[in-house]
Amino acid sequence: MSFAVSVIIGLAGLFALAAALRAAARAGLSGRARSIANDIPLTAAFGLLVIAIYAAVAIAAPALAPFAEREIVGNQFEAWSAEHLLGTDRIGRDMLSRLIYGARNTVGIAFATTALAFVVGSILGLWAALTGGWLDQVLSRIVDAFMSIPALIFSLLLLTIFGTSVLTLILVIAAVDATRVFRLARAVAQGIVVMDYIEAAKLRGEGAWFLIRREILPNALAPLVAEFGLRFCFVFLTISSLSFLGLGIKPPTADWGSMVRDNATLITFGDITPLLPAGCIALLTVAVNFVVDWQLYRASGLKE
Amino acid sequence: MDREVLLEIRGLRIEGRSGEEWTEIVKGIDLTLHKGEVLGLIGESGAGKSTVGLAAMGFARDGCRISGGSIVFDGIDLRTISEKQKRDLRGARIAYVAQSAAASFNPAHKLIDQYCEAPVVHHVMGREEAERDAIDLYRRMQLPDPESIGFRYPHQVSGGQLQRAMTAMAMSCRPDLIIFDEPTTALDVTTQIEVLAAIRDIVRQFDTAAIYITHDLAVVAQAADRIKVLLRGDEVEEAETRQMLDAPREDYTKSLWAVRTFARAEQPPASGTPIVSVRNVTAAYGTVNVLEDVSFDIHAGRTVAVVGESGSGKSTTARVITGLLPPKSGEVLFEGNALPAALRRRTREQLRQVQMIYQMADTALNPKLTLRELIGRPAQMYLGLKGRVLEERVKELLNLIELDPATYIDRLPGELSGGQKQRIGIARALAAEPKLIICDEVTSALDQIVQEGILKLLNRLQEEFGLAYMFITHDLATVRAIADEVVVMQQGRVVEQGTKAEMFAPPHEPYTELLLSSVPEMDPDWLTRLLERRGAA
Amino acid sequence: MIALRVALGIGLLFIVSLIIFGATELLPGDLAQQLLGQGATPETLAALREQLGLNDPAPVRYWNWLSGALTGDFGVSLSNGRPISELIGARLGNTVFLALYAASLAVPISLVLGILAALWRNSIFDRAANAGALTAISFPEFFVAYILVLWLAQTGIFPSMVRINPTTTFGDRIYMTFLPALTLTLVVTAHMMRMTRAAIINLMASPYIEMARLKGLSPLRIVLRHAVPNALAPIINVIALNLAYLITGVVVVEVVFVYPGLGQLMVDAVSNRDIAVVQAVALIFAAAYIALNLLADVLSTITNPRLMHRR
């Protein structure tokens, strides 16, 4: 129970810090940055703060972690102590260190996967919407067919075939996710392509690359950025789930999903330590979702 | 007017929310309406006329609030009674007719079900009686098949018929007052007449009071006993219709009246090789022909107005000329030489010669580009201008369209007014230094005073640079103002063409006659006379 | 028109079966090589190829596989040689039971919450429901599951592992499956509630809703008679989408609670690289997914007068 209280106090502290930073930004900044600071809700400020902290931890992991990622430094399942703040895991590695390295591994892999899916999916989607005709039809029908298999199931099928190394994991999840990005990017671009300014540019004789770069992309950016956040959450949760199932990132690499799986037996004894990595996953996803929600609200609000 | 007062509004103030702030959009309006009287409420966009109309029902849209004044309907103060009491009045004693009937009918229910809803809910009559009544009113509104039309869904009925069905629905509880909010604005001219006549008759038959909201003076003149002019939430003046038309007091009102007086000087007949000739063009979307054997010429320094209602093929003709829609047969000549049919086969030089200005400047300008980029791009692309030269050219173009370069050059389109945006569209077309500019309904989304400014600007540029214009429009007043030659289109065919003088003088083709006679005039008796004449014919 | 949609759905299922089958053709080497590893002798390889029918051309193998699957014969497991239909048998029923259980909790709860949040937009209730839903969406399923275990199973109210067999009574099943069903419900409800809310709010901004208000109708009547009939199509799609999501969700939840369902089977098969079982289960999941979307499509067509009553 005291742990639950300290979690609540910690979250409240983060919220207070976010509020303080926002107030400082409102006072200190000027121009556009200031108007954003004025407009940002507390939840989104909290989200940005959490994302910044995760990024900092991921970058500085070796400096922050008291022990090495894969080193066995104690007995199995040691309790929380001064030396091992969060105890040790199933084979005696330091939990806190692995948690810190997990920020680097789990988040890094999820980010790389999302970025890959995004580049491929959105370029194809914009291109299909702009070109139209048979190219659009073929690409869209292929994507429709692939999307009629549930994402996790399709990923499992592909992982069975290609094996479960980190690289295949990234490629498989990115491929499956790119279909979703394609569909969104195409829908967004289709809304833009019917605008008269695109027709005007076509009449002027502009090429496809200019149209995508100067006319479509600037207008598609806001929804695509919001979608990037959502897709990241989805990929992050999928990879964590796969790791939890033993099919994703595998030990000894420190990863939050597999850490839960590895130490799950403790839960039946009422120990919450194995849930900490899951909590780390949840906190980051909540943070990203808060920011995305704000962005979506802004995008819809500006339209009115 | 010695009849009893029905509605009395005093010092009405309404605020609208933008972001976290409330700004006043109606600034203390007084309004008195007697029983059976029709009041015309006119003004340009942003005048607050719809907001005032809704406030007469005690209603404010989301994001608006009534912040001051009193609204007394038949002795009841709508600002102090409960929501329940207001609901009892709405639909029963005060009814509303919206601008877009297609969007305001619920797509999930049949027309007659929606008709019967208010009488049944307000306990005016039972369901069966309401159905019989609906058929009776549909007949009075001169809807085709009054017995069966109510049993259709909204999407199965045309726009003009829906608007009449909505007026019938508003009449279902025999209210004391109906608010008409731009009921004919979205309709074609020939349909507008029918709806306007039907509305006027039904209001007279039942001696219903009405507030008729519109931006079109000539329309309101046919229906209203009195007219009130609004400007940015303030009243400008109010008078009896005839008096208002004959002798407006305020400068603003006079300027509204004067808008339609602009006319381009008569031009001598054109000669020589036309800039563009459309020769026997037939075009289709899929297998359906949308253009049949269309031919006309456009000469340098001349304006050809292409006139027709929606679906007549006038915009499609523009698509054929620009190469967006290659025709099935026929060709387009540029200075005597055939242009490749498809856009991508045309050379950059050929593309440069024909530029286009669009109806909706909002969607025609990329909202993420500054004016410098928007206007500079054609000059950079076609004429190879760069750096200082390009900047000077953009400034010169801004000066041409009467916008101060220093203030505007780095703005985004979103920071401009509607008329200014349309001027940017013109500057962008000019930047290519073309010989022909196609103007697709360029003034129809604008307020009348702004329209006039744009027409004058186009006229000045034409004289300065010897441009040819193809002017697509449905508005005959615009044709009168700016055209040298006129092409009348109907269902993909050219029904008549000739000089402006020929077109506006009899004899006419029957369709041209219908079109010409349907344009409302600033004369309260115009509609009555027209209907008599058509009835006699 | 509905017949056309059904035909399209069947066509799609056919294409999906091609993809699932075709994916195995991407295997480096062939299945026999894969199973026996590098050290296999040419003789044993040839024998296994013969046994698995790998010498037939791909279209023949595809036809054999598909026609088998249609009659419930998915071949044998590569890891233990048992018929796959036997492995699937009872597990399919268990998974369907769990999904329906979760759906019967989640659908009513989320519809009511979604509609209320839309009606009381920007109220405290709306904000709380939204923040709660956003948080629930952000939690990995296993996190939700373990929190419930810590909270409800540690105190002994509900079992943390599901031990059911064909003789378990319905009541016992409901009791023992409560925690997995609740986990799925929490995750799906959040999505469904948010989407329902968005669909209704979108609708309430329509001019015909303003018209209904100006006719003096009561808020209840406006919602029931003017909003709901038009919201049916989006809501049906929201439900279908989330029931389809349940299909994915069961995989993780079944593993956490050691629930004997298809998800468990699939995860084990993936670990063993038992491609025949994975294919079979993937085909079943995909078929269910397509059927749900097809059902939603047909239902929203029926409820849309624009599609049912042409001009």
Residue ranges per domain, chain B?
A: 5-106+176-257, 276-517
CA separation for the pair B113, A255 (Å, rounded): 61
**Torsion angle of alpha carbons B335, B337, B338, B344, nearest 10°?**
-80
CA B106 to chain C, closest CA, distance in angstroms equals 5
List the single residue in A with minimal CA-CA distance to C282: A153
Residues in chain C, total: 311
Rg from Cα positions in chain C: 24
CB-CB neighbors (< 8 A) of A290 in chain C: 134
The reply to whether CATH 3.40.50.300 applies to domain B5-106+176-257 is yes
Q: How confident is the model at residue B260 (pLDDT cuts 50, 70, 90)?
A: low
**Is there a single domain that holds both residue C136 and residue C19?**
no
Starting from the edge strand earliest in sequence, which strands make up the sheet with B94-97, in order? Answer: B94-97, B177-181, B209-214, B38-42, B226-231, B234-240
- A215/B364 Cβ within 8 A: no
- A153/C266 Cβ within 8 A: yes
Neighbours of chain B (3+ CB pairs under 8 A): A, C
- Per-residue confidence (pLDDT) for residue B306, from 0 to 100: 93
Q: How far is CA B469 from CA A82, A145, C177, in A?
A: 85, 49, 76
Average pLDDT for B214-230 = 87
List the single residue in A with minimal CA-CA distance to B380: A204
**Is there a single domain that holds both residue C115 and residue C247?**
yes
CB proximity under 8 Å: A 41-60 to C: 43
Contact C192, C105 (CB under 8 A): no
CB-based contact, A71 to chain B, within 8 Å: no
Q: Which two tokens stand for residue C120?
A: 């009381």
- The minimal CB distance from B107 to the residues C215, C216, C305 is found for C305
Contact B6, B32 (CB under 8 A): no
More confident residue, A222 or B97: B97
User: What number of other Cβ atoms are within 10 A of residue B407's Cβ?
Assistant: 9
State yes or no: pLDDT of C244 exceeds 50: yes
Q: How far is CA B73 from CA B7, B36, B41, B453, in A?
A: 5, 14, 18, 41
User: What number of other Cβ atoms are within 10 A of residue B265's Cβ?
Assistant: 7
- Per-residue confidence (pLDDT) for residue A302, from 0 to 100: 43
- Mind giving me the DSSP string for chain A? -HHHHHHHHHHHHHHHHHHHHHHHHHHH--HHHHHHHHH--HHHHHHHHHHHHHHHHHHTHHHH-SS-SS-B-S-TTPPP-SSSTT-B-TTSBBHHHHHHHHHHHHHHHHHHHHHHHHHHHHHHHHHHHHH-HHHHHHHHHHHHHHHTS-HHHHHHHHHHHH---HHHHHHHHHHHHHHHHHHHHHHHHHHHHTSHHHHHHHHHT--HHHIIIIIIHHHHHHHHHHHHHHHHHHHHHHHHHHHHTTSSS-TTS--HHHHHHHTGGGGGGT--TTHHHHHHHHHHHHHHHHHHHHHHHHHHHHH-
Average pLDDT for B130-141 = 89
Q: For residue C177, report the phi and psi dihedrals to the nearest 5 degrees.
A: -90, 5
ipTM > 0.90 (yes/no): no
Q: For residue B209, report the phi and psi dihedrals to the nearest 5 degrees.
A: -80, 150
CB-CB neighbors (< 8 A) of C309 in chain B: 152-153, 156
Q: What is the domain extent for residue C112?
A: 87-272
Q: Is residue C113 part of a domain?
A: yes
Contact B254, B238 (CB under 8 A): no
- C221/B107 Cβ within 8 A: no
Nearest CA to B240 among B394, B40, B430? B40
Bridge partners of B357, per DSSP, are B439
Q: How confident is the model at residue B446 (pLDDT cuts 50, 70, 90)?
A: confident
Q: Is residue C298 part of a domain?
A: no
More confident residue, A301 or B44: B44
CB-CB neighbors (< 8 A) of B439 in chain A: none
Neighbours of chain C (3+ CB pairs under 8 A): A, B
- Per-residue confidence (pLDDT) for residue A303, from 0 to 100: 36
Amino acid at B330: G
**Is there a single domain that holds both residue C109 and residue C65?**
no
Helix count (H) and strand count (E) of chain B?
Answer: 23, 20
Contacts 24+ apart (CB under 8 A), B462-466: B462/B301, B462/B303, B463/B301, B465/B430, B466/B300, B466/B301
- The minimal CB distance from B363 to the residues A196, A206, A214 is found for A196
The b/e string for B121-159 (b: 16+ C-beta within 10 A; e otherwise) is bbebbeeeebbebbbebbebbebeebeebbebbbebbee
Q: What is the pTM of this model?
A: 0.81
Q: How confident is the model at residue C236 (pLDDT cuts 50, 70, 90)?
A: confident
CB-CB neighbors (< 8 A) of C221 in chain B: 121
Bridge partners of B329, per DSSP, are B282
Average pLDDT for B316-333 = 92
CA separation for the pair A112, A106 (Å, rounded): 10
Three-state helix/strand/coil letters over C100-158 = HHHHHHHHHHHHHHHHHHHHCCCCHHHHHHHHHHHHHHHCCHHHHHHHHHHHHHCCCCC
User: What number of other Cβ atoms are within 10 A of residue A268's Cβ?
Assistant: 14
**Is there a single domain that holds both residue C250 and residue C108?**
yes
- Per-residue confidence (pLDDT) for residue B430, from 0 to 100: 93
The gap from C-alpha B428 to its chain's centroid, in whole angstroms, comes to 25
The pLDDT tens digits for C176-232 are 888 899 999 988 898 889 888 888 888 888 889 999 999 989 888 888 888 888 888
**Is there a single domain that holds both residue C110 and residue C206?**
yes
**Is there a single domain that holds both residue C200 and residue C117?**
yes
Contact B232, B46 (CB under 8 A): yes
Q: Which two tokens stand for residue B193?
A: 């007449």
CB-based contact, B339 to chain A, within 8 Å: no
CA separation for the pair A184, A224 (Å, rounded): 8
CA A43 to chain B, closest CA, distance in angstroms equals 18
Contact B485, B498 (CB under 8 A): yes
Q: Is residue C17 part of a domain?
A: yes
Beta strands (DSSP E) in B208-328 are: 209-214, 226-231, 234-240, 276-285, 288-298, 303-307
Q: Is residue C293 part of a domain?
A: no
- CATH number for the domain formed by residue range(s) B276-517: 3.40.50.300
Angle between helices A196-204 and B371-383 (to 10 degrees): 20
- C131/A43 Cβ within 8 A: yes
**Is there a single domain that holds both residue C131 and residue C170?**
yes
Question: How many beta-carbon pairs under 8 angstroms link A with B?
Answer: 45
CA separation for the pair A25, A27 (Å, rounded): 5
Neighbours of chain A (3+ CB pairs under 8 A): B, C
- Per-residue confidence (pLDDT) for residue C176, from 0 to 100: 83
Question: How many beta-carbon pairs under 8 angstroms link A with C?
Answer: 134
Cis peptide, bond prior to residue A218, ω within 30 of zero: no
Q: How confident is the model at residue C35 (pLDDT cuts 50, 70, 90)?
A: low
User: Hunting for tokens 């025709």 — which residue is that?
Assistant: B327
CA A45 to chain B, closest CA, distance in angstroms equals 19
Region of residue C81 (phi > 0: left; psi between -120 and 50: alpha; otherwise: beta): left
- Per-residue confidence (pLDDT) for residue B241, from 0 to 100: 86
- Evaluate whether B5-106+176-257 and B276-517 have a shared fold: yes
Tens-digit pLDDT profile for chain A (304 aa)? 567 788 888 888 988 888 888 888 888 877 767 777 777 888 889 999 999 999 999 998 888 888 887 777 777 777 778 777 788 877 778 888 888 998 889 999 999 999 999 999 998 998 898 888 888 889 988 898 888 888 888 888 888 888 878 898 999 999 999 999 999 999 888 888 888 999 999 999 898 888 988 899 888 888 888 889 989 999 999 999 999 988 888 878 888 988 888 888 887 777 888 888 999 999 999 999 888 888 877 766 543 3
- The minimal CB distance from C285 to the residues A150, A246, A264 is found for A150
Average pLDDT for B306-314 = 87
Amino acid at B442: V
Q: Is residue C303 part of a domain?
A: no
Q: Which two tokens stand for residue A252?
A: 């000894």
Region of residue B488 (phi > 0: left; psi between -120 and 50: alpha; otherwise: beta): beta
Residue B287, H or E segment: none
User: Hunting for tokens 């229906």 — which residue is that?
Assistant: B223
The pLDDT tens digits for C131-176 are 888 888 888 888 888 888 888 877 777 777 777 777 778 888 888 8
**Is there a single domain that holds both residue C154 and residue C54?**
no
**Is there a single domain that holds both residue C38 and residue C95?**
no
Q: Is residue C50 part of a domain?
A: yes
CA A13 to chain C, closest CA, distance in angstroms equals 18
- C285/A241 Cβ within 8 A: no
**Is there a single domain that holds both residue C29 and residue C112?**
no
CB proximity under 8 Å: A 140-159 to C: 144-146, 148-154, 156-159
CB proximity under 8 Å: C 269-288 to A: 269-271, 273-275, 278-279, 281-282, 285-286
List the single residue in A with minimal CA-CA distance to C292: A148
Residue B537: exposure state from Cβ atoms within 10 A (0-12, 13-18, ≥19): exposed
| Homologous superfamily of the A105-299 domain (CATH) | MetI-like (1.10.3720.10)
**Is there a single domain that holds both residue C96 and residue C221?**
yes
Q: Is residue C309 part of a domain?
A: no
Q: Which two tokens stand for residue A242?
A: 């796969």
